[in-house]
Chain A
Amino acid sequence: MFKLEKRPFDSRTMAYCSPLIAFALTLFFGGVLFASLGHNPFTALHTFFILPLSDAYGLTELGMKVAPLLLCAMGLSLCFKAKIWNIGAEGQFIMGGLGGGFMALQFLDAESSWVLVPILLFGALCGLAWAALAALLKTKFNANEILTTIMLNYIALNALLWAVHGPLKDPSGFNFPESAMFANAAILPLLHEDYRLTIAIFFGLFAMVAIWTLISRSWLGFQIQVLGEDKAAARYAGFKENALIWFALLVCGALAGLAGVSEVTGPIGQLIPYISPGYGYAAIIVVFLGRMHPLGILFASMLMGLTYMGGEMVQIEMSLPKSITGLFQGMLLFFLLASDLLIGYRIAKKAPANIEAPSTNRVSA
């Protein structure tokens, strides 16, 4: 039989291979799932993962999904590095969208694209404020950030619903729960007029480089890493724990807020009840899948963006429910966590029973 054996050191190779194994397993079980639904697994997987990217339109649509994922995931990676379990990117995204949308509605007659500056800034600020609540609750009141950020997500969602059903509803919109369409000047510039991809993708890429530099090249980034690795060491070194928590959460909130406002002033163009297909949650998977490394996160957000497009594609082509996206995302994370075991452990042949270590060692170890 086989048993798990602790490796003397964590395996770097396995750390990089694990996402690939997870993806392979997801493909395999995805194929099994399609087959069990009576579809040819190969055509189905082709429809899910390849077909969406077969033309320039598909590639730009992917970029459109990568932008918010990348922004949220880069912010989250900063928090997760410090072992702050911020699950609140979704709420920060929504508040960014709501705040930015509110600002955009103040400039309905705008002619100049300069109005985008206050709109984007205010959106980022709203996301930041939402994260600040979580930071306050954690540092001041010692409340578990997982639970508070989740609750803040639901509150943000209801705030958006309240706004589009009430004060921000389009007065001439036949009572639909939607705001007025934003002015053209308040819409993010497109990269190419035939496609929906906006300059938001550059925000994402810029955030990636900025956070990368921050984490790997700056004193602040070093402190954040130490805090995550060993809290006691960080305290001993005199790092200001609370200040670091505030910093990580605020940066994450601002980035997620920017993602949110870029979404409403981008492909959506107005405020509607649902502005996020779960980007904030998917970004959590992106961070884990990308090994908290900026480049890894970039690739992971492409893969995660692809799962959204694949879901839409199998809905169109094979009339399967779009929610298959969440299923694939969940599977990815599951398999990733399972194969991450091989980073710290290796599979070895079990030694014969008679030379096994005496059981008295159990307690001391």
Chain B
Amino acid sequence: MDIDLITNILYATIRTGTPLILVAFGEMVCEKSGVLNLGQEGMMLMGAVIGFVAAVTTGSLFIAILMAIIAGILMSLLFGFLSITLVSNQVASGLALTIFGGGLSAFIGANYVGIGIDGIQPLAIPLLSEIPVIGKALFQQDPLVYFSFFMFALLYFVLTRTRVGLKLRAVGENPEAANSMGIHVHGVRYLAVMFGGAMAGLAGGYLSLAYTPLWSEGMTAGKGWIALALVVFASWKVGRIMLGAYLFGVASIMHLILQGTGYEISPSILAMLPYVATIAVLVLLSSNQTKAKLSAPMSLGVPYRPQL
């Protein structure tokens, strides 16, 4: 393997890992508040299609990204209304969101299949991007990749160092106690769900505007589900989400690596890798029951209904 290949693998790994990081961050915050939203796939697809349609109609990538985020938030509000206000089963509501988002996005995007746009272009940071090997991977990416780095720092700080993070965790661990402390449990959960929606919408937008600038039905291909597994894998820790997402990134671009080294394997077989990796990770992690239980928010998936 030569240096160019390694550089390109690193570059592609980060690009592939970024949408996973964005969704997984959103879902992690959501789960920290005690809400399990299985609708990531639906929110991502809506973000992807709305972002793409906005890009085609307005020609502005900035508006497109904004619309993708708004689409994600609106979808998450649907879920929030069902699971928080109407105390529905979170598993079923999340599945409903995924099915609904899949249908709605395919419907909206039906006339936009096969259209190409100029996607979000990489933005090289002077000097830093010229560092050998890692320069291209870290500092010659598009703005959303930098945004994922920024979110990592922000979330790490907010979750571990601020009152906001403390409140979020209190609501997820023990909503009754949080309520008696004067925290508005439903309010916090709504905000967390909306943050999750915004991030999933953004990740969808990243796929249709930067990663592969086009729209195709079901283009997220299970990335929302992989992100859900990633949160478990990361034991709800931001740093491990970054690490995990890049590991999945490597698994997803295995074809690139293998081509470089001269092996020939069917692309369909290689496409299985990220899913197999997800299962492997779940197995490794869940076998240790006590540890898995300790790191998960205590009230994850349990609806909270204030007694008035």
Contact = CB atoms under 8 A, between A and B. Distances in A.
A143 B280 CA distance: 10
A114 interface: no
B209 to A, nearest CB: 21
A158 B96 contact: no
B272 A154 contact: yes
Give the contact-size bracket for chain A. Answer: 35 or more
B81 to A, nearest CB: 8
Interface stretch (B98-106, B132-140, B189-197, B199-207): B98-106
Q: Which of B88, B287, B306 has the most CB of A within 10 A?
A: B88
Tell me if A's interface is mostly helix, strand, loop or mixed.
helix
Given A143-B279, A147-B278, A151-B275, A162 B268 contact: yes
Contacts of B292: 142
Contacts of B150: none
Contact of B283 (A141, A159, A329): A141
B74 interface: no
A44 interface: no
Interface string B32-71: 0000001000100000000000000000000000000000
A165 interface: yes
A159 B287 CA distance: 27
A166 B102 CA distance: 29
Interface in B219-234: 221-222, 225-226, 228-229, 232
A328 interface: yes
Contact of A288 (B82, B92, B271): B92
A208 B266 CA distance: 40
Nearest to A360: B180
Contacts of B101: 330
B95 A333 contact: yes
A205 interface: no
Instruction: Determine chain B's interface SS by DSSP, over half rule.
Output: helix
Contacts of A340: 88
B99 A141 contact: no
Contact of A362 (B89, B106, B307): B307
Contacts of A323: 103, 106-107, 110, 217
B176 interface: yes
A166 B225 CA distance: 28
A357 B103 contact: no
Given A155-B275, A337-B96, A144 B283 contact: no
Contact of B266 (A165, A330, A341, A365): A165
B236 to A, nearest CB: 14
A338 B102 contact: no
A150 B225 contact: yes
Interface string A323-361: 111111111011001101100010000000000110001
A317 to B, nearest CB: 16
B276 interface: yes
Contact of A162 (B229, B269, B278): B269
B103 A330 contact: yes
A85 interface: yes
Nearest to A177: B268
Interface string B217-257: 10001100110110010000000000000000000000000
A362 B180 contact: yes
A235 interface: no
Given A144-B286, A159-B272, A357 B95 contact: no
B87 interface: yes
A338 B88 contact: yes
A118 interface: no
Contact of B275 (A154, A281, A324, A338): A154
B79 to A, nearest CB: 9
Question: Which of A87, A158, A284 has the most B CB atoms < 10 Å from its CB?
Answer: A158
A329 B86 CA distance: 20
A341 B278 contact: no
Contact of A326 (B78, B91, B93, B99): B99
Given A281-B99, A288-B92, A326-B99, A151 B107 contact: no
Interface in B164-192: 176-177, 179-180
B259 interface: no
A259 to B, nearest CB: 19
Contacts of B162: none
A321 interface: yes
Contact of B222 (A3, A144, A154, A161): A154
List 9 A-B pairs, minimum CB-CB distance, nearest first.
Answer: A326-B103, A330-B100, A321-B110, A323-B106, A162-B268, A327-B103, A333-B96, A143-B282, A365-B307
Given A143-B282, A143-B286, 14 more contacts: A141-B286, A142-B292, A147-B232, A151-B222, A152-B279, A323-B106, A326-B99, A330-B103, A337-B89, A338-B88, A341-B87, A356-B308, A357-B307, A362-B307
Interface of A: 3, 85, 87, 137, 141-144, 146-148, 150-152, 154-155, 158-159, 161-162, 165-166, 281, 284-285, 288, 321, 323-331, 333-334, 337-338, 340-341, 345, 356-357, 361-363, 365
Interface of B: 38, 42, 78, 81-82, 86-89, 91-93, 95-97, 99-104, 106-107, 110-111, 176-177, 179-180, 217, 221-222, 225-226, 228-229, 232, 266, 268-269, 271-272, 275-276, 278-279, 282-283, 286-287, 289, 292, 306-308
8 contacts: A148-B279, A151-B278, A288-B92, A330-B97, A330-B102, A337-B82, A337-B96, A338-B81
